[in-house]
Structure formats: structure tokens, C-alpha cells
Amino acid sequence: MRVQHRKAGAASWRFSLVLMSFDPVYTVKEYAVSAPDLSVSSTQNTLIRSEVRPLVFEKKPSSFLQEIPGQSLPLRVAVIGNHLPRQCGIATFTTDLCDSIAVAYGAPGVFVVAVNDAQSRYSYPPRVRFEITESDLSSYQAAADFLNSSKVDLVCLQHEYGIFGGKSGSHVLRLLHHLTMPVVTTLHTVLRKPDVEQLIVMQEIAARSDRLVVMSEHSSQLLQDVFRVPAEKIDLIPHGIPDLPFAESDLYKDSFLVGKNVLLTFGLLSPNKGFENVIQALPRILSRHSNVVYIIAGATHPHVRRREGDRYRLQLQALAKKLGVADNVVFHNRFVSPQEMAALVASADIYVTPYRYEAQAVSGTLAYALGAGKAIISTPYWHATELLADGRGALVPFENPAAIADTAIRLLDNDAARHSMRKRAYLYARHTVWDRVAQSYMRVFLRARASRMQTARGASPLQAAEKDTSQRINV
């Protein structure tokens, strides 16, 4: 077991927030924007924002929160999950979430307990003060002991079955069983057809958590229908995105890409991503637009690489060569930095997520592309169906290169339609920039803490949770 302690920073963290009541599942209310608030430059094709009234979370009453006056409260948050430089989507999300909370409320108030896969060690920043070895059950107990002794006000757990040890990630339950502070769990995957072990683990996590955060309406409904989690325990907070400018792709193209139409996919490579369908669409696209380049940016997923090396990437390269489009497919075979990612996305004319299966609850890369105001082509997996509704993107059938080709050609043929799609995507995503997501998380944290304080006079939330879990598992 490897347990690493890091010295904490400031002993307390204070901020002022006016507590607002809100529904367990957020809805987005969009204010009407008058002509002076938002304009589009026809020459630069760039949105110019001035005094735009923000999108806000529309909220319904919650009686106990209304009774708590706005005040300055001490709150120290420990986030459990993967963290950069570990290469995975959860690590990127945890890092971005902590960065946004630190910017909004002060860096001393948030630190991380990082989960390491057994084969790797990472050079973490000072924010990471404790490390769990994924496969070592005793390190989960040690993490709980560390957190209980660290005067932490609340724990925010990032959950994905694959990042924790034990069957269906059951090791994390050892940690949750021994925590004494409120827990808010962010669920990155909610399964429609879990096996028995996955069902029990998720129900136990739900029982041990004071609040559950999901990133889509579909995930919220699955929690209720499949895992029997009450709606009032669920909060919907969208996947955060950086606040990127709305600008023409030509402004960001390097010398190699100047004069080319760029199709882009980025993210860790694995066979379920379906990138071969875009490559198979290229001959038809190139027959109409010979200047198209398809960029596949990202390293092979570490778990896939351990099992089979770079076989999937080699298959994609062989397919491109076989179809005669090898010169039009560019591989960036590395885990791209946030700065490089921003530049790549900005240079894209069309972003493509051709995932092969419907059961994709969250796609951080799709949220990123939407927030950058990209024209998007996607298969209709769960997250894409929600994000790209109302003309914010184009959905094509699974495993259908011809549909990808036809849609790409249609968008490249019609600049006005492509730009209209981009504007709808960009405006919709404004409420998901990281500073607003950080505020939403803080409201949920305060709600969880207030609820725990209220119930402390009677049965503890964990006692109630244990009873609830036992009943639901034994049905």
C-alpha cells in the first residue's frame, strides 16, 4: 500500500454565499436577449457579448434552505477521484472542477484524494494530499481515516465503476462506510442494465451519499427507474467547459491546415469510439470537398493500451491507407494539454463524435466542442441526444459512414446553415462554463451540509441510508 500525506494549506476557508432554494433536478431558464445585448459581427463572424443577462438555474422552493439565512460559512471540500497528470477523462474533470472552485472561492478550501492505478505513479501538484492505490482495499480505509482527521466539511466523490478496485468498483464502499462528513457524489456513468454487483454497488453509493450529481436528464431518470433513487436526492449539473471565444476556425489554423476544412475528433482512443466510421466516410466527402482533413487527437486509453497496445490506432491507419485517404487523416498520438486542446478545437470546422453505442451517459469532449461553438455531427448516444437537440448539432445513425458523409457534405456546402448551428450551440452552452458549474456545485455542497446538520438531531443520514439500502437490495 502506498499512502502519501501532503501538508494542508490554510486551516479554514470562508466565503459568502446567499443560499437559494432549488429543485433537485435543475432546469435552464433562458432570458430573452435584446438587440443591444448580443450582436453578431458579419465581417469577423464573431459573437460580441456585452452585458448579456446570464442563463440561470430555475429553482423550486426547498423549505429548509429557505429557513437558513445567507451567511459566511467555513467549508473545506475534499474531492476524491483521478487527477492530472493521470490520463483519463475523470482526471481532467476532477482537475477542472477543483480549479474552478479554487478560482471562485479560494484555493485553500479544496484538496484532492487521488486514486492511482496499480501500474502507475504520478507527479501530482500540491493540491493532491493523499493517494489511494486502486486495488488495495486497506488504502481506502486509510483515506477515510485521513479525511476524518483533516477537519473536512464535505467530500465530493467522482464515481466511475472502472476507477476503483474490487468487483464493480466495490472497494470505494469501504471508504464511504467510514466517512463522518456529508458526501456529494458525481456520477459519470449511470447504467441502464447493470448486473447484480453493479446494481448493489450503485445503490450503496446512493445510500451513503447525501446528494447525487448527474450531468444529464437521462441519467437522472435512470437513477430513479433502475436504481430506485428518489428524485429529491438528485441534482443535475451539466459537464463544465472552459469559456472559449466564438470565432472562425481559420483564425486558429496553422500553416499545415490553412485552406483546409478540418474534421476533428479528440479524446482517448478505444474501439467503442467508432472513428473508423468517419474514415470510411472520407472518400465520399473528399469527392465533393478535396481539401478536407480529419484529425484524430488523443492517446490510446491507458486501460486499452495495457490490454492490446496500440492495435486500434494501427487498424485505423491501415483502414485509411486501404481507402486511399491516408494523407487526409492526421493522428496526434498523445494526451493533449488543455492549451493544445483549445487550439485544436478552435481550428475545427466540424467536430465529430461517432460513438458506436447508445449507452454513453456523458461525453466531456462533446460538451467542450459545444461550448466552443463548433458544428457537430454525432451518433445519437444519450448525452448527444440531449445536448444537440433543437438544431444544436446533427445526429446520424450508429455505424453509418454514408450518413456521416452526407451530413458533412451538407454542412460544408452551406456556410450559413453551419454558422447557424454553431451559434445555437455556443449560446446554449454559456450556462455550462466552469465558473457557473462551480457555483452550482457549491450550492449543492451547502445543501448537503445543511441537510446533515438538520438531521443530526435525530437519526443520522447513514443510519437511514443503511435501512433504505437494505430494503431496496432485498426487494
Examine the pLDDT at 119 and tell me if it is beyond 60. Answer: yes
In a domain? residue 51: yes
Q: How crowded is residue 290: how many other Cβ atoms within 10 Å of its Cβ? A: 10
In a domain? residue 310: yes
Question: How many angstroms separate the CA atoms of 197 and 374, rounded?
Answer: 39
The angle that helices 89-105 and 364-371 make with each other, rounded to 10 degrees, is: 50
Backbone angles phi, psi at 300, to 5 degrees: -65, 140
Query: Closest Cα partner for 150 from 15, 2, 10, 3?
Result: 10
Retrieve residue 249's grid coordinates. Answer: 476556425
In a domain? residue 4: no
On whether both 99 and 55 belong to a single domain, the answer is yes
Query: Secondary structure of the chain: what % helix, strand, coil (to 5)?
Result: 45, 20, 40
Reduce the secondary structure of 208-231 to three states and give it as a string: HCCEEEECCHHHHHHHHHCCCCCH
Domains contained in the chain, number: 2
On whether both 367 and 345 belong to a single domain, the answer is yes
On whether both 234 and 255 belong to a single domain, the answer is no
Reduce the secondary structure of 264-321 to three states and give it as a string: EEECCECHHHCHHHHHHHHHHHHHHCCCEEEEEECCECHHHHHHHCCHHHHHHHHHHH
On whether both 168 and 273 belong to a single domain, the answer is no
The CATH number linked to 97 is: 3.40.50.2000
What's the pLDDT band for 338 if we cut at 50, 70, 90? confident
What integer is the mean pLDDT of 402-414?
98
What integer is the mean pLDDT of 110-118?
93
Question: How many angstroms separate the CA atoms of 79 and 109, rounded?
Answer: 11
On whether both 404 and 467 belong to a single domain, the answer is no
DSSP label at residue 233? G
In a domain? residue 8: no
Residue 65, helix vs strand vs coil = helix
Give the model confidence (pLDDT) of 7-33 as tens digits.
443 333 333 333 333 333 333 333 332
Which residue blocks in 156-226 are alpha helix, DSSP H?
171-178, 196-208, 217-225
- Higher pLDDT residue, 284 or 305? 284
What's the pLDDT band for 35 if we cut at 50, 70, 90? very low
The whole-number pLDDT of residue 457 equals 53
Distances from the Cα of 90 to the Cα of 214, 317, 395, 404, 423, angstroms: 14, 28, 26, 29, 28
The residue to which cell 448527474 is assigned: 214
Structural domain for 268, as ranges? 249-431
Question: How many angstroms separate the CA atoms of 332 and 199, rounded?
Answer: 38
What integer is the mean pLDDT of 248-255?
88
